[in-house]
Amino acid sequence: MFSRFKRLKSLDLQQNEISKIESDAFFGLNKLTTLLLQHNQIKVLTEEVFIYTPLLSYLRLYDNPWHCMCELETLVSMLQIPRNRNLGNYAKCESPPAMKNKKLLQLKPEELCDEEEREQLDPKPQVSGRPPVIRPEADSTLCHNYVFPIQTLDCKSKELKKVPGNIPPDIVKLDLSYNKISQLRPKEFEDAHELKKLNLSSNGIGFIDPAAFLGLTHLEELDLSNNNLQNFDYGVLEDLYFLKLLWLRDNPWRCDYNIHYLYYWLKHHYNVHYNGLECKTPEEYKGWPVGKYVRSYYEECPKDKLPAYPETFDQDTEDDDWEKIHRDHTAKKHRVRITIVG
């Protein structure tokens, strides 16, 4: 019904005598933030109706004759999630008589139906010709939304295999650590314009598309530690104009020509403090700072260059000092100094 209005953000359906809403009625409205359904004749509604509106932040349901029984349990559970604090305020039960005037936001699941009723409740038959309702593969509704001290979406350890495609646009901090995201595709975060802190650590990420961070012009902190990154393709970091901190440790960085882009980007953007950029492969360079490898790449040395001539590289050179300063500065972010005055 509304699928062609892909950019619709507000939908007013109040005072229409609506009594039933199909599970896929709002299909395609993935930009919708406001939905007004008050002053209608709706008695029952399920959570499935709102699967296609991941950005919904204001929902009005009051002045409907809500029948507060087992069929309403999924809706009530959805309304009571902390991040949905502006959904369904003031809506009250109309029936059965024992539940009349109780607010949906204050109901307990056991008040709506007991275990026996749950077992007896048959699933609604599939309407012929309609596609089945399928939850998105990576759904941000699995995450927790906090507003204090900053607007945060916590998706840590949610078994996500992809970056959610419905990240609220006002999120400042996004934690996607400890999931199963193996790669970052183009424009993964294009709607998260306010994002300043992004944690992608401990995911097993092995590839980042050059356009993955497109639009993150306000990003200040990026944690890519403990992944499977060997290098960055040219262009990956080009949109991160205000980046200040970059965590790179515990990745199998491979020291060949493909690592040069990352090294020279950091060299040019000297205000970005980072850690963990150390060769892991091939074996002959294992343990080397990447900067040391890049310099050796252009030098004319004998075949057994560094193992036989360790003095070839002075650890007090300008580049090594530069790497140490950035490594130490990043580490200081986690230190605390206590001074006791007697």
The DSSP result for 5-36, as a single string, is: -TT--EEE--SS------TTTTTT-TT--EEE
pLDDT at 200: 97
Tokens of 209: 């598309």
What pLDDT shows up at residue 251? 95
Which pLDDT tens digit goes with each residue over 100-123?
898 888 887 777 776 555 555 444
Single out the residue of 117, 183, 186, 197 nearest to residue 153, CA to CA.
197
Give whole-number Cα distances, 9 to 35, 56, 58, 114, 248, in Å.
9, 9, 11, 38, 38
| Residue-level pLDDT at 226 | 96
Residue 315 is predicted with a pLDDT of: 34
C-alpha–C-alpha distance, residues 305 and 310, integer Å = 8
Q: For residue 5, what pLDDT is reported?
A: 80
Beta bridge partners of 274: 246
**Helix (H/G/I), strand (E/B), else coil: 294:** helix
DSSP 120: H
Contact 266, 245 (CB under 8 A): no
pLDDT of the residue at 160:
92
Residue 233 exposed, middle or buried by CB count within 10 Å (0-12, 13-18, 19+):
middle
Torsion (CA) 159, 161, 167, 172 in degrees, nearest 10: 70
Low-confidence ranges of the chain (pLDDT < 50): 121-136, 300, 302-319, 333, 336, 342
Q: Which helix (H) or strand (E) holds 264?
A: helix 260-268
- The C-alpha atoms of residue 92 and residue 62 are separated, in whole angstroms, by 7
Domains assigned to the chain: 10-120 (3.80.10.10), 143-331 (3.80.10.10)
> In 3-state terms, what secondary structure has residue 107?
coil
What's the pLDDT at 117? 55
CA 150 to chain centre: 15
Note the pLDDT of residue 139: 60
pLDDT at position 69 is: 86
- 201 three-class SS: coil
342: how many CB neighbours lie within 10 A of its CB?
2
Structure token pair of residue 148: 């204090």
C-alpha 62: how far from its chain's center? 32
The helix/strand/coil state of 169 is coil
